[in-house]
A and B are shown apart, each in its own frame.
Chain A
């Protein structure tokens, strides 16, 4: 773990997450589901004929019934859900300001993979720049076998390609069943692509996680010459930074951010924003809130 020597807080072993919807999965898990079963919260009563489980006959209700029908208690079965992480690995994620965006993304993937495995859910990772990067992606799994490899591959990956249009393709791969989808990106996509992405994901529970860096906006220098090289296009531009220009840049940056927040709010959960370092307890609270 030499790569994250600078980040003071150790990675959490568990990250609670909660959903407000009900899983349709048959497999048992830790989340509320539409399945009825033995454990969990009481849901309703059904006749023994409807639900053929004499072990759970509700005597009180059966006796009260003038028609002497036998009632059985039905409980909510806890089911698993699918958790998918859509990871933007386009060039702009290669930014190294106060922190490495890719390193933060790798940490997120690592912690989520562990947490999801412990909760008994399936974890999938889809990494994409302009196309889906099969080498980095992990198909839905409950196994921990590939976890270390996945994290190592993410840490070593140097984003270079331009555009994150592949995220939309990746989003289609998540499947039709409602999943918890974590979209990890800097969300510097063109507005129409961003909208299309949220549109494709509209059937899922989407948690946008935006990775930002203070050095790209808030901590810009007030004065001086900066030769910027666009991480995606490679284009260069000399900028004579001065307070007026800096304010203008920050205004644009904020405008972009607020557009993203509005869009995210329309399609799903409020985004979680990471600037420079991951506040794990805040992320945990954010996920546990479930909405």
Chain B
């Protein structure tokens, strides 16, 4: 344990003063004709040393307290199960509707509220994940960089409570999520969890960029598709006569694009909160690869404890002082 440190190390020069009580007694000496032939009393000797040591402790603790003793904050590397995950959340206005596709009223829960609730549960259950949050609608928003602060992530997800914006621009959102993953160089498993209630056409040029990015390193991609009742799903095959174009069926084509990336990819289609919960549980089960994570131990100020120790030692000395009796009452001394 070498991580103790002082704010003002120069006070250590005073530390030899702590030896003073071992040499000099704090009690007032009282002359006595002869103590040599009086037997040594073990209790008195023990008490004497206890008081001397208390004095030394008091001085040492005060000096360390004045010097600002603290333990340095540090990070410990640990291994656990988890992944580095970017939550990419759709903030388009349709997320504020219920799964039935209308504005929530009464006890109904909007898609975003359900997703938020379940994601928060999910995050809190995953101890060692490194999480980042990004949102997208018309343009992507960098909400929170990769962090292990669960509180910050939960707060970031709560912040999604604001009413959504107009469009869904999946491509740029994904690019942002990839960027966030790119910045992280550890060998942990990488996950992008895309939560959205619809898809959009991804620009051809953006598609190429994404394809290149996904090819560079393996990233597990999960698409949690919050499907509104009655809208086309991921696996909806166009009927005869219907157009099979990304513009007409963006979900199907996005899915096809993801599958073509050659990365590990799974889509979950959820039409109610229960299905969302199941999907999240499934993801949680899948992402169990070993991960090295850093645990931060915060800077620990030991000043107060030093002063508390000094106070305790001084109280002992004070008690001894109050217990002192004089052979000759002070009033008679000249």
Contact = CB atoms under 8 A, between A and B. Distances in A.
Interface of A: 92, 94-98, 186, 188, 213, 215-216, 219-221, 223-233, 235-241, 245, 248-249, 252, 256
A238 B25 contact: yes
Q: Give the size range of B's interface with the partner.
A: 20 to 34
Interface of B: 25, 27-41, 43-45, 47-48, 51, 320, 323-328, 332-333
Q: Which 9 A-B pairs have the closest CB atoms?
A: A224-B325, A227-B27, A92-B33, A229-B29, A238-B48, A228-B32, A221-B325, A240-B44, A230-B35
A249 B37 CA distance: 10
A213 B326 CA distance: 15
B330 to A, nearest CB: 12
B33 A188 contact: yes
B327 A238 contact: no
Given A224-B323, A229-B32, A231-B34, 18 more contacts: A95-B31, A95-B32, A97-B327, A216-B32, A219-B327, A221-B325, A225-B324, A226-B327, A227-B28, A228-B29, A228-B31, A229-B29, A230-B32, A230-B36, A236-B25, A240-B41, A240-B44, A252-B38
Given A240-B44, A240-B47, A227 B31 contact: no
Contact of A235 (B36, B47, B48): B36
Q: Is the interface of B mostly helix, strand, loop or mixed?
A: loop
B39 A95 contact: no
Nearest to A222: B325
A159 B38 CA distance: 21
Contacts of A95: 31-33
A228 B51 CA distance: 15
Contacts of B51: 238
B328 A241 contact: no
Contacts of A238: 25, 27, 44-45, 47-48, 51
From B33, B36, B325, residue with most partner A Cβ within 10 Å: B33
A215 B327 CA distance: 6
A226 B324 contact: yes
Given A225-B320, A230-B36, A235-B36, A241 B325 contact: yes
A96 B31 contact: yes
A272 B36 CA distance: 25
B41 A230 contact: no
Given A235-B35, A238-B44, A229 B325 contact: no
Contacts of B30: 226-229
Contacts of B320: 225
A226 B30 CA distance: 7
A232 B34 contact: yes
A235 B36 CA distance: 9
B325 A226 contact: yes
B47 A225 contact: yes
Contact of A227 (B37, B43, B324): B324
B39 to A, nearest CB: 7
Nearest to B47: A240
Contacts of B325: 221, 223-226, 241
A225 B323 contact: yes
Contacts of A227: 25, 27-30, 324
